[in-house]
Chains A and B, each alone.
Chain A
Amino acid sequence: MKASSLSRKNKWPYLFIAPYFISYGVLSLFPIIFTLYLSLTDWDLYGNRNFIGLDNYKQLFFHDSYFWKSLLNVFIFLIGYLPALVIFGMLIASVIESKLIRSKTFFRLSVFSAYMTTPVAVGIIFALLFDWQGGFLNQLFVELGWMNQKINWLGSAESARWIVIMMVFWKNLGYFVMFYTAGMASIDRSIYEAAVIDGASAKDVFQRITMPLLKPINLFLIITSIISGLQLVEEPMLLFSGWASGSSMVGGPDGSTFTPIWYMFDASFDSSAFKYGKGASIAYSTFLFIAFFSIMSMKWFNKEDKGR
C-alpha cells in the first residue's frame, strides 16, 4: 500500500519525527552508551575517573558472591511465582469467563486492583502483614491460638523469600488474569460449540482448545515476566525499608531477597560508596542475563511449536 502521494523528499515527516529522535539521542541513547563507558571505569562521586577495562566485570563475576546471590534470588522468585501465576491465572480467568459467574466485572476488578497498586505500597503492605511484633498475621494467629509465640517471618532467609514470592504473585495475578480473559474472549465461540457437540468434556476442551490457542499469550507473559522479574526491586526494597519495624535491612536477612537492580542502586546511590562504575557494570551484566534468558525462552517456545 502506498502511504501517501507526497514526494519522498517532503520535509514534514522529518519535522514530525525530529523531536522524538533528538530527545531519544540525548536522554536515552547517550545515557545507555555512557553507562557502558562508566562500567569500564572506576568512576565515583569522589573524583576517580580512571579507565580500568574489564576489571569491574571480573570483580563482579569472579569475586562477588553478592552479585551471584542477587541473581540466584530473582531466579528462585521466578521459579516460585511464574508457574503459579500461569496456572492460577488461567484457572481464575476461565472461571470468571464461564457461564457460571454473573458479576464478571466485580471479580475481574478485584484481582486487578493489586496490579494498580504502587510497588512501594505493595512492599509496605506486606511488611505490615508479616511484621514480627506489630504484624497483623502474627497477632491474628496468636489470638486464634494457632501459634503460641510470634514468629519473625521477615527475619529468616527462607520465609523472607516466600513472602517476596507471595507478594509478586499477589501483585501480578490480575495482570495475568486480564491477559487470559482477553485471550479467551477472542477465541471463536463456535469452536467450543463444535467440540461440545462432538462430545468433548470440559477438561478436553480446556486442554485441547483453550490451552493451544492461548499459546501466544503465554509466550508474551512468560517473556515479559522474565524481563521484569530479573529487574525486581521496589517491592523487596520497601519490604525491608524499616517501614514497619523501624530498622531497614539492605537485601533482607542474609541477603536472601537482594536483587541485581537493588545491588545496582546500592552500589551507585545508596551506600556511602557512590561507585557509579561498579553500578554501571552491574546494570550491563544484569541485562546480558535478561537478553540471554529471554532469547532462550523464545527459542524454546518456537522449538515446541515445530515439535507439534
Chain B
Amino acid sequence: MKNVKKWITVVSLSLFCLLFLFPFYMMIVMGTYYSEDLFRTLPILPSNYLLENLKTIMSANFLLNYWNSFYVAVMFTLLAVGVAGLTGYAFAKFDFKGRNVLYGFILATMMIPGQLGLIAYVMEMKWFGLNNTHAPLILAALNNAFGVFFMSQFIRSSVPTEVIESGRIDGCSEPGILIRIVLPFMLPAMSTLGLISFLGSWNNYLLPLVTINKPDLYTLPLGIANLSTVFRTDYSASILGLTLGTLPLIILFLFGSKTLVQGLTGGAVKG
C-alpha cells in the first residue's frame, strides 16, 4: 500500500515536471529543423538542421548582443553591490546623526515600484546625452533600496563589532577597516545580491527598449525580440537564437541557485 502511494506520487510529480519543461523542449527541437519542414511535419523529435541554423545565427551580430548583455550586467552588478555594501555598512555599524531617519527613508522607498519614474528617467538620460549608450542601463543599478536594506541586515547580524574596534585600536583608517577587515565577512551576502542584480539586469527589456535603438548596442532581450525581423524568412533560425539566448543563462543560474534561493527567500521566511 505504502509502495503504491509512493509510486503514484513520484510518477505524477514527474509527469507534472515533464509538462512543465515541455515548452523548453519544444523550443530546442524547433531550432533543429529546416524552416519549411517545420510546418510540414510535427516537430517532436530533433531534426538534422541544427548546424545550418547555427551558421545563420552566427552570421548576424547575435554574439554582440550576448557581449553587450554580459558587459552591462557585470557593470550593473559591481555598481549595485558596491554602493549597497558601502551604504549598508554605514547604517549597520555606525552611529551618526540622522541615521534612523535616513534608514526609514530607504525602507519607505523600497515600496515604490521602479516603473514610476521611468518616463522622466528616460528624458533625463536624453538631457545628459546618454541615450543610445549603455549608461542608462548601468546607472539604474543605483536605484537599489533593497540592496542597501539587504546588506545592512546582513552586516548587522554577521560582522562582529569587535573586529572593527580592534582595527581602530591598531590605527587602521576607516576605508582600510572596511576593505581589509569587513569585506571578507560581507562576501556571502555580496555574492547573493550580485546574483540577483545580475539576473535583474540580464532580463531587463523595457529600459533598453526605450533608451537604445542602435542594433549594435542591443542587449540580449532586445536582440531576441528583434530576431524575427532580422530572420524574417528563417523561422527556425530565430527559434534557435531564442534557445541560445535563453538556455545558457538558465543552466548557469541553476548552478548558483542555492545562493540565489537563499537570497530571495531569506527576508520573507524569517519574517
| A residues at B contact (CB < 8 Å) | 2-6, 8-10, 12-14, 16-17, 19-21, 23-24, 27-28, 30-35, 38, 92, 95-96, 98, 100-101, 107-114, 116-121, 124-126, 128-129, 133-134, 136, 139-140, 143, 170, 173, 175, 178-179, 182-183, 186, 216-217, 220-221, 227, 231, 233-234, 238, 241-244, 246, 261, 264-265, 268-269, 276, 279-280, 283-284, 287, 290-291
Contacts and interface: CB of A to CB of B under 8 A. Distances in A.
A22 B220 CA distance: 30
B143 interface: yes
Q: When A and B form their complex, which 9 residue pairs have the shortest distance between CB atoms, in order from nearest?
A: A31-B117, A16-B90, A13-B94, A31-B120, A32-B117, A23-B142, A34-B120, A182-B265, A220-B268
23 contacts: A3-B95, A10-B96, A14-B96, A16-B87, A16-B89, A16-B178, A17-B86, A17-B87, A17-B102, A24-B142, A112-B257, A118-B249, A119-B203, A120-B221, A126-B23, A128-B30, A133-B39, A134-B235, A175-B264, A182-B265, A183-B265, A241-B225, A283-B118
Given A19-B86, A243-B228, A276-B119, A95 B269 contact: no
Contacts of B111: 291
Nearest to B221: A120
B27 A125 contact: yes
Contacts, number: 254
Nearest to B35: A134
Nearest to A282: B119
B113 interface: yes
Interface stretch (B14-22, B56-64, B186-194): B14-22
B115 A264 contact: yes
A238 B206 CA distance: 11
Between B27, B122, B144, the greatest number of chain A beta carbons within 10 A of the residue's beta carbon is seen for B27
A136 B210 contact: no
B174 interface: yes
A2 B115 CA distance: 38
